[in-house]
Structure 1
Amino acid sequence: MKVSSPPSNMDLEGSVFRLSPAANRFTVLGCKTLAYIGDADDDASYTAVCGATCKGGDPSLLTNGSCEGMGCCRTAIPKGLENYRVWFDRNFSAPTPAAGCSYAALVEESNFTFSSTYLSSSAFVDAYGGQAPLVLDWAIGTLAGETCESAGAKPESYACVNDHSVCVDSPIGRGYICKCNKGYQGNAYLRDGCKDVDECLDPQYCEGTCHNIIGGFICCPQKTKYDPQKMQCTPIKKNSLLTGTHLFSYSMLYKNNENLNG
């Protein structure tokens, strides 16, 4: 059986996008398949390999959902990858009618679940319309090699304009991104984009009495109460009935003595 393959290469050089190392995995499918992924410009700068095999060469013995080498293999890619190409080791990979189909592609990990039918039909290609899903990361100032420090020195173009946002150097290598501070959520690239999160709406944050404050929350345990002036939990004071009784008894005794003396 012959089917169309997913794209075997991609070149993002000169753009603000990079292949996400956190979301994507180089994935190889087959019963006797060894494949490589490498830099499209120079395969000596980055190369990774992944191999998949089957017990007895029989795809029917594979476990659906598992991708640990039996019928399916996956491995991570480095950060900052701008391009890639994929190729098979023809000396190792020898497709046979019994072994079924072989595939190699960069795939979004969370959007892929292995199925043994991928090796005996065109189901893998059909499932994604011939284009396996993957994730691209992006950052501001990627092409200029900006960092938070260099970008912050240019207020006219600095993107983190929200008062409740923070600048983070890009995890993909170059550029920076803006995030809302802890306790806020929304769009950090808009002046009013970061909004306070009411943590008290989610019971997992507090097992006592929850009080939302701007940018956070205060959880008061039992036998305490929230003091809005001090913005902290304070012990609940108990009224002493015993003290009140002593005062009452003393007052009555004093008045009785007055009567006797009078």
Structure 2
Amino acid sequence: MDITGNTVFIPGATSGIGLALAVALRERGNTVVVGGRRTELLDRIATEHPGIETVRIDTADPASIEAAAKDVLARFPAVNVLITMAGIMRVEDWHRPESFLESAESTVTTNVLGPIRLIAAFVEHFQTLPNATIMTVSSGLAFTPLKITPSYNATKAAIHMLSESLRLQLADTAVEVVELEPPAVQTDLIPGHAENEQAMPLDEYVAEVMGLIETQPGAREIQVERVKFLRYGEARGDYDQVVAAVNAH
């Protein structure tokens, strides 16, 4: 993926990593369109970040994805980068199904079906372009589980394997598939996490990601140094110790 000159659509970018990445990409000379459910947040972004375009989208709703994709393709026909940022993370207790089942189903809908439907909405258009990028968003927890978020871990593992598979299928096209693998980052993905001193500061994370995109334009996985502890535990042979460390607090 080139660092500049793109038209980028980022559903799920009204806060956290998505918004910070949208701002950074806009500063690098890209046209950026952010999507989200809450129109008041979209309006605020348009006011506070002139030049960033917005579209309403609920990635848990197939009809909303279809409508938003048509809107984006009509208004921004040069769109050539999709970053499937939208996701939810919920604490679950699997001892009792009534305490986790609804949460698990919502997590799968947003974190797995959402990206699948988004990719389906853009992949034919992308294949008509000389270059295009689908950037999926998994997590370090795709490779090392956090005990309290089983469904989130599972959905991010699914996104990792989906990314691997799509890359193979689309190898005969000009569409790149790049997987962004964040570690714990100081955002409001779960309540209180933005103040978690063990998580990576958001601005530091996005700055390192932008540096990796610039210096490794052909990378298949965008991995900041901090996520490699989670990503490669099994390969290093210290997986059990990594799991224990992640779940020690």
- Decide: shared fold, TM above 0.5: no
**Higher RCO structure, 1 or 2 (CA under 8 Å, sep 6+):** 2
More helix by share: 2
Larger radius of gyration: 1
TM-score by length of 2: 0.18
Name the one with the larger strand percent. Answer: 1
TM-score by length of 1: 0.18
